[in-house]
Structure 1
């Protein structure tokens, strides 16, 4: 376990300083420059006779991506190669049709389609339009295999003589998102077994010293494509920080053109000078956050008014502040919000009841996390017989479905607290997934979770004791706002990174979970409560139950016992 310093929660990119400082001298590059797999696939589609005549590309089904792919094709094809984009079409528009001439019943009129326009070239097709029109996919396969387009009448109720099929030689790129590609593959199992090749438009890139210059040139390409002002070096660093937050990894940058368009055009609008400064990018990010902040601020307000109960001070047995990410339908971004997770125990058969699951308010991944957590506790207790206590774990004041395993560490802490009767520090919130060996695993939405809890603490009053426990493997995803970094610098807020549950309990409970291997365990060296472990407290409670000491017996139980002997 170690406490995270304030400098590491916002990426600084010192290893790329030299390249960033030369940004103004760099030549722009198109977005396709950072798409080696897609570029290679397009080149083979155009020039390799053994390559399938169709290429499926996973990318957002948006016109901007069609434009980028068309640019990449233009760079790889001969100058006179026809390249046609079919982003929205029906069957007649794609394949053409024969129309009846109303003035002469013996004649008809041929209207060529987009596939004829792409003859001896390449056709870029929207997968969503392709699968939304019945029969188009079958005809497209037939055209590619036979090299001929059969004619059909534009209207079935009018007779007209159909000409002979027309020869075409065309190669096709089909563009669609992953869900649409999965739908096509389910209806066409042989799709990637010779019928078509596959690749995708990569949405991010891992930056290193070899590709950082090319990445910066791509940013300049976006800047010039959108007709924006020049970015200053500090503005580039701020854009890269926003990119790291978007990808949830400090050295991984997005490649989505729409993301850059949204951020850079807003920064250009906020810039009063001839160039875009860091302050302009900051304002762009703040304005976007302000526009989207209604629901998150309402959530904080509900907690402040006590309508949602969240403690950020004091101690409670079996209660802990977990961290959640709220994804509200109709709201463009997810936001973080703390959730009170509680656990109560009573005499029983060792069953740990997941209230969310029983109420059909939890998904399968959450159920899996709960079962893994229970397995770890059972293995750690190493009992010869069933645990004589049953437990009930619930997300308090939660009225929508909970899913994911990121709360399993918090649920484990609540369960151990309730079993050991050791209170949990409410100043600290916890997130992390647990495996069956007690290792803490990474979770998603870490920045939103931390900022959500910080806002609640700030609203209730920072005490200097508040903070968040997170998986150590999530450190590379940190990209928090400057307010939290400043609070950490002043010692008003803390972040602890842990690798194992053993590192978590001393922070939130003040006691270790179990003895480490290098400690000598004897009854003589356990002299007071402060030297106990949580497992020892649980074992003592179980022993007291079995030996009848301090065992509470209800009035009804005592009456039943009296009747049994009388």
Structure 2
């Protein structure tokens, strides 16, 4: 419903943009982010790729031609000539003084004393006089000083040569790249951040032109890791979010873990080394929904570690940072990227039940500040003629959306009836679209099986019956116990201290009614009612409350002037699990009355309903399933056309019974009685009135309460006689 609403109200607006990550040539660990108008990100990426593809061919060609070689060779020759002249000058001076300048290594020189045409050896030099040796040493020392000065000049000339060579390379590179980048800048002149990036790219191309000139396996392999063998990685454009339609995005994140929500940085392994760069940054749901709406399940968000805190941090700062989860957990010390933050402008819609909302509200002080708007959705709506027309349109929209066959009028009527049954109210319609969509799909399946062009009411009925059959295994097992007699039930005649109560058993998505026998026994005592379920800890708190209420009502009826002399025990027979709920209170009350009075109570009528301390009947849940459960039980054990169910009058509007029960009621072979006070139920169950007290508090002798009152009086007399006999004997 939210998706349908948002799609109808979302238009294009300025907040929708493209986001790209590019290399930060000054610090590769901190990639830069580019903000571009919607749809321009992919175009910019393609333009840069086109530029790089041209440069990959053009730059090597520019450096592989005669003009470049001539200029480069000229610079090299000029350097060689200057170096040679300078060294020759030093060599001539040395020769005049009987010393020779020799080359030992590239860039390494040595001065050697000469013995005629040959250099002195250690032996010949030692044969010289001390003065001659000293003369050579002094001469060589002076020449070495001059040589060092000459070598410094050579080094400076070498650096000048490298600068001129670099300048030549820059001129060649700029000649190739300049006009191409100029064209790009002209195209994106309104995008100042793009212009800034292109200028830094222009400078980096000059500084790293060797990337285009060197052909090595490592470069090719790393480039292949990005699925691009030709384009250098450092000049790629990583389009993180592309909004070519210009509409505000609507994103549903079904698995909101840390990486899926906040994005992540991939790694590539090359020759055993793990590396990463800006081109491996991947967007999360927050990036994709930026400028629009992000829909998530609150429970799933809270289940994921670090997600809730990260989400609040992003909303507070209005920015998105891509951090490795390992860094959040402080489990890794590896160097990773720190991409520039992206401004965040998103509306987050969390779905959850009321309990989750209240827990967040109670335990997270920031929750209401960040999530200011709360929408509490109705599960039902009024079943008015106008709303039924709208519901029919809703059914039609589901048919169109799912590509199903259209429904005829009777099928629509049947689906609307089923919707009221889901809502358990004749005057309500269920708003749980998933249930209706599933019913339509299965109805369409049965229509296809019968080669029908439309979904008809019989297809809807078949779908409902099939769904019930698929989930009825436990129900069938329980009814099998009723049929073979292992579950003791009686649906005819009358028995003292025994009533058929109704309850609902839920198994997954299936609910069905079951019949439970309640029995009670009464005995001489002090008026206590023993709830066996409560004493053995099989009774829930609500059930125990119901028993205490009926005990209070009993005390109100018969114990206002004297204490009760009857005690009773009550239990659910063949109940081996926890019993909870107060919907059996009236049935328990009738059972106790039967045990206390000794009057038989009808077994062909089952009872459901709660009561208060004034005897007023209160509504219960699952009334349809309970009535149908007793009807099915009667069909198994044998119906005698007298069976029926007593239910609260306040539940009449909840009646949405299945067709076979309605047919039986129309034929008067099965009855449903509604009561507003427990006395009405007593009259139906015992075949005589409950009784109204006179001014003295006495009930009519032939009433149910009168019978109990008479029995209590006899017990009191017996009690007095026994006490008198005991005193005389003592």
Which TM bucket (shorter chain)?
0.7 to 0.9
From 305, 308, 324, give the equivalent of 2:487. 308
Aligned counterparts of 2:484 and 2:465: Cα–Cα separation in 1: 26
Whether 1:142 aligns to 2:313 is: yes
Partner of 2:37: none
Does the Cα contact within 8 Å between 2:679 and 2:689 map onto a contact in 1?
A: yes
Does the Cα contact within 8 Å between 2:361 and 2:367 map onto a contact in 1?
A: yes
Partner of 1:108: 277
Does the Cα contact within 8 Å between 1:338 and 1:453 map onto a contact in 2?
A: yes
Whether 1:345 aligns to 2:522 is: yes
Partner of 2:501: 322
* Cα offsets for 1:387-439 (capped at 9, x unmatched): 11211110000111111110001011111111121110111100000011111
Whether 1:207 aligns to 2:380 is: no
From 644, 652, 668, give the equivalent of 1:475. 652
Partner of 2:474: 295
Aligned counterparts of 1:294 and 1:98: Cα–Cα separation in 2: 50
Whether 1:90 aligns to 2:257 is: yes
Partner of 1:277: 456
Aligned counterparts of 1:549 and 1:168: Cα–Cα separation in 2: 85
Matches within 5 A, 1:32-111: 32=1, 69-79=2-12, 80-99=247-266, 108-109=277-278, 110-111=281-282
The CA RMSD over aligned residues, in Å, is 2.7
Partner of 2:704: 534
Structure 2 portions without partners, runs of 5+: 13-246, 327-331
Aligned counterparts of 1:333 and 1:475: Cα–Cα separation in 2: 23
Give the 3 Å change call, closer, same or farther, for CA 419–120 of structure 1 in structure 2: same
Aligned counterparts of 1:522 and 1:82: Cα–Cα separation in 2: 75
Does the Cα contact within 8 Å between 2:388 and 2:416 map onto a contact in 1?
A: no
Does the Cα contact within 8 Å between 1:101 and 1:108 map onto a contact in 2?
A: no
Greater displacement, 542-551 / 447-456: 542-551
From 122, 126, 140, give the equivalent of 2:293. 122
From 450, 454, 461, give the equivalent of 2:627. 450
- Give secondary structure in 1 for the equivalent of 2:348: strand
Partner of 2:234: none
Give the 3 Å change call, closer, same or farther, for CA 75–166 of structure 1 in structure 2: same
Matches within 5 A, 1:150-549: 150-153=321-324, 155=326, 156-189=332-365, 191-192=367-368, 195-271=371-447, 272=450, 273-328=452-507, 331-515=508-692, 532-548=702-718
* Cα offsets for 1:314-361 (capped at 9, x unmatched): 111111000011124xx4301111100011111222111111111111
- How far the C-alpha of 1:94 sits from its partner, in A, is 0.9
- How far the C-alpha of 1:209 sits from its partner, in A, is 3.2
Aligned length: 484
Does the Cα contact within 8 Å between 1:327 and 1:334 map onto a contact in 2?
A: yes
- How far the C-alpha of 1:190 sits from its partner, in A, is 5.2
Higher relative contact order (CA 8 A, sep 6+): 1
Normalised to the residue count of structure 2, the TM-score between the two structures is 0.62
Does the Cα contact within 8 Å between 2:533 and 2:571 map onto a contact in 1?
A: yes
Aligned counterparts of 2:366 and 2:542: Cα–Cα separation in 1: 31
Structure 1 portions without partners, runs of 5+: 1-31, 33-68
- How far the C-alpha of 1:372 sits from its partner, in A, is 1.5
Give the 3 Å change call, closer, same or farther, for CA 371–240 of structure 1 in structure 2: same
Aligned counterparts of 2:728 and 2:553: Cα–Cα separation in 1: 39
Question: Greater helix share, 1 or 2?
Answer: 2
Aligned counterparts of 1:154 and 1:401: Cα–Cα separation in 2: 45
Does the Cα contact within 8 Å between 1:515 and 1:521 map onto a contact in 2?
A: no
- How far the C-alpha of 1:107 sits from its partner, in A, is 6.4
- Give secondary structure in 1 for the equivalent of 2:510: coil
Aligned counterparts of 1:327 and 1:360: Cα–Cα separation in 2: 21
- How far the C-alpha of 1:363 sits from its partner, in A, is 1.0
Aligned counterparts of 2:523 and 2:251: Cα–Cα separation in 1: 70
- Give secondary structure in 1 for the equivalent of 2:441: helix
Greater displacement, 202-211 / 265-274: 202-211
Aligned counterparts of 1:463 and 1:101: Cα–Cα separation in 2: 80
* Cα offsets for 1:128-172 (capped at 9, x unmatched): 321111221112112112111233235434212423433221111
Partner of 2:218: none
* Cα offsets for 1:530-560 (capped at 9, x unmatched): x622222222112111111899x9xxx99xx
Does the Cα contact within 8 Å between 1:420 and 1:541 map onto a contact in 2?
A: yes
- Give secondary structure in 2 for the equivalent of 1:280: helix
